Amino acid sequence: MLNKTQLLFLVILIEGYVVLASELIVMRLLIPFVGSGTEIISIIISAVLLPLAVGYHYGGSAFKRAYARTRKDRRNQLSIRKILLKNILTSLFILSIGLSYVFLEIFFEILSIVGIHNRLAQTAIFSAIFLVTPVFLLGQTVPLISNYFSRKSLSEITGRMLFFSTTGSFLGSVFSTIVLMTLIGVHNTVIVTMGLLGFLVVLLVRRAIAYEIWVCAFIFLVLFLLNGSPTMKELNIVSNNAYNTAMVDTDKKTGTTTLYLNRSTSAAFDKEGNNQFDYSKFFESNFIAPLAKTKTVHDILIVGAGGFSAGYQDKVNHYIYVDIDKALKEVSEKYFRGEKLPANKQFVAASARAFVKDHDKKYDLIFIDTFTNVISVPMETTTREFLLDVKKLLKDNGVLVINMIASPDFRDKFSVRYDNTFASVFPNYSRQIITDFSPWADTSDSIKLRTHQRNVFYIYFNRPLTNDDTVYTDDLNTFSLDRN
């Protein structure tokens, strides 16, 4: 049985854990809706740090203000315990709704309907509603609990409280992501994290059957209905870890099975086993099929495994698939393709950037397909440094193909600057727009601009002449000689 001091420090530890765990859960949950850019992360961090600081400041005098109000209104005295319970229950309710995937689908759909399409604005609105208030309330925990300790040992007690709060934050950042999200999924991590707040309610109530217990039980019923495994199964979600929310759906009419990663289609096959995406068909027919017909075994690197659909029919060449999400192999074998990877195909669970940096084997064909949709682009794979590392992995006469989701006619800064970046490493390259588009399309708002995006292949052939930078001028023109 815990004594009073141990109980108070346990409350502080759990509060620190929940705040940091909730912050990281929000970052992960918002990826399918607003992406994972540094600007998105900065908004979320700001929505935690500032309310937390204000909560610390406000909590220092919260009890005095509450006591003064109760005296003025001639009500029963409001204890620190009651303030803590009120703060925790309010935070539990708001976070339980805001951290639920089902609710997020509805919330962001509503934002789109009312005309709010900017990702930064969407992130700010979500954070203001579902992060600011609970973090502010939980931030009051440490200064409120300090009222229980003697002023004579205040400096020592303050140090211990900060130690437990920071230790809780450390555990929340590490244990919730590395352990829980990996082993039990994001949705169950939400349940566990909110369960810790519920545990605080149980610790702080004086009676086994109390009003707060019933409120807590109701919140957990809603929490389970929104995040439980039956709900995930109903949504066809087969994996929900720190990297991807993977959904597999089969159209009963057409027999087409589709894999969705973070709400974006990743791969699709019909009942005959034919690939359904135009960019996949183009890659297969122009780069895989010619290699499969030769007698030589070629080495092929696929960065961004998805549903392991690239080169699916090829039983000859040797493939290495690289993806940071190690669960994708099981997702493909058990739910999507329904069969084991053949012997000529190997899966490596690793970060794309780390793999190409530390790897030294060379390949005949490299296909980089890490861009799941317009808003979810791994930033570390868009840089010049990444491309330089990739270039080192090409054999002589090897081919690099990068599937980029971009504006075909350079309507946005990203499309222009990525093209600049690619050209700085591979000055002689091809750019293939996979599907038809109109160069006169209206892209006056963000939605129209997004629908104007296409799969664009950046293709580099590592030939002896691809680094030739000679240009024709009126003074020196070897055109007629070069054509022979």
- C-alpha torsion angle, residues 122, 125, 130, 131 (rounded to 10): 100
Backbone dihedral angles phi then psi of residue 367, each to the nearest 5 degrees: -120, 120
What is the predicted pLDDT for the residue at 67?
54
- Which residue would you say has higher pLDDT here, 52 or 210? 52
Please tell me the distance from the alpha carbon of residue 413 to that of residue 395, in angstroms, as a whole number.
32
Given a contact cutoff of 8 angstroms between Cβ atoms, the answer to whether 51 and 136 are in contact is yes
Domains in the chain, please, with CATH? 4-231 (1.20.1250), 276-461 (3.40.50.150)
Residue 88 predicted with pLDDT over 70: yes
Backbone dihedral angles phi then psi of residue 76, each to the nearest 5 degrees: -60, 145
Q: Residues 149-180: pLDDT tens digits?
A: 776 677 788 889 999 999 999 999 999 999 99
DSSP structural state of residue 327: T
**Quick one: pLDDT band at residue 388, thresholds 50, 70, 90?**
very high
- C-alpha torsion angle, residues 282, 379, 374, 100 (rounded to 10): 120
Given a contact cutoff of 8 angstroms between Cβ atoms, the answer to whether 210 and 85 are in contact is no
Please tell me the distance from the alpha carbon of residue 6 to that of residue 16, in angstroms, as a whole number.
16
What is the predicted pLDDT for the residue at 319?
96
Percentage of the chain lying above the pLDDT 90 cut = 66
**Quick one: pLDDT band at residue 131, thresholds 50, 70, 90?**
very high
Tokens for 129, please give them: 């509603």
Q: If DSSP codes are grouped into helix, strand and coil, which group holds residue 412?
A: coil
DSSP string for residues in 443-470: --SHHHHHHT-EEEEEEEE--TTTT---
Q: Which of 87, 89, 88, 68 lies closest to 77 in space, CA to CA?
A: 68
Residue 70 predicted with pLDDT over 60: no
What is the predicted pLDDT for the residue at 62?
64
CA distances from 343 to 311, 347, 363, 368, 395 (A): 13, 11, 18, 22, 23
What is the predicted pLDDT for the residue at 148?
80
CA distances from 481 to 116, 428, 472, 478 (A): 58, 20, 12, 5
What is the predicted pLDDT for the residue at 105?
94
pTM of the model: 0.88
What is the predicted pLDDT for the residue at 73?
52
> What single letter denotes the amino acid at residue 98?
G
Q: If DSSP codes are grouped into helix, strand and coil, which group holds residue 477?
A: coil
- Which residue would you say has higher pLDDT here, 239 or 76? 239
Tokens for 187, please give them: 């949705």
Residue 117 predicted with pLDDT over 60: yes
Please tell me the distance from the alpha carbon of residue 242 to that of residue 78, in angstroms, as a whole number.
41
**Quick one: pLDDT band at residue 378, thresholds 50, 70, 90?**
confident
For the chain, the average pLDDT equals: 90
**Quick one: pLDDT band at residue 293, thresholds 50, 70, 90?**
confident
Least confident of 69-73, 275-279, 317-321: 69-73
Tokens for 375, please give them: 């808003």
DSSP string for residues in 137-150: HHHTHHHHHGGGS-
- Alpha-carbon dihedral sign for residues 89, 94, 99, 101: positive
Q: Which of 457, 451, 447, 378 lies closest to 422 in space, CA to CA?
A: 457
Tokens for 448, please give them: 């129209």
Please tell me the distance from the alpha carbon of residue 237 to that of residue 258, in angstroms, as a whole number.
12
Please tell me the distance from the alpha carbon of residue 64 to that of residue 212, in angstroms, as a whole number.
23
- Give CA 363 to chain center in angstroms: 29
Q: Residues 20-62: pLDDT tens digits?
A: 999 999 999 999 899 888 899 999 999 999 999 999 988 877 6
Residue 136 predicted with pLDDT over 80: yes
Given a contact cutoff of 8 angstroms between Cβ atoms, the answer to whether 319 and 345 are in contact is yes
In the chain, helix, strand, coil percent, each to 5?
Answer: 55, 15, 30
Give me the residue label for tokens 């006169």.
Answer: 440
What is the predicted pLDDT for the residue at 294?
81
- Which residue would you say has higher pLDDT here, 459 or 272? 459
What is the predicted pLDDT for the residue at 374?
63
Backbone dihedral angles phi then psi of residue 238, each to the nearest 5 degrees: -105, -15
Q: Which of 38, 12, 54 lies closest to 162 in space, CA to CA?
A: 12
Given a contact cutoff of 8 angstroms between Cβ atoms, the answer to whether 246 and 331 are in contact is yes
Given a contact cutoff of 8 angstroms between Cβ atoms, the answer to whether 430 and 459 are in contact is yes
Q: 144: how many CB neighbours lie within 10 A of its CB? A: 22
Helices (runs of H) and strands (runs of E) counted in the chain: 20, 11
Residue 202 predicted with pLDDT over 60: yes
Residue 68 predicted with pLDDT over 60: no
What is the predicted pLDDT for the residue at 80?
82
> What single letter denotes the amino acid at residue 195?
G
Percentage of the chain lying above the pLDDT 70 cut = 94
What is the predicted pLDDT for the residue at 69?
57
**Quick one: pLDDT band at residue 270, thresholds 50, 70, 90?**
confident
According to DSSP, the residues that pair with 250 across neighbouring strands are 257
DSSP structural state of residue 454: E
What is the predicted pLDDT for the residue at 312?
87
Mention every residue, 6+ apart, whose C-beta is less than 8 A from residue 72: none
What is the predicted pLDDT for the residue at 63?
61
Tell me the average pLDDT across 333-343: 91
The helix (run of H) or strand (run of E) holding residue 248 is strand 245-250
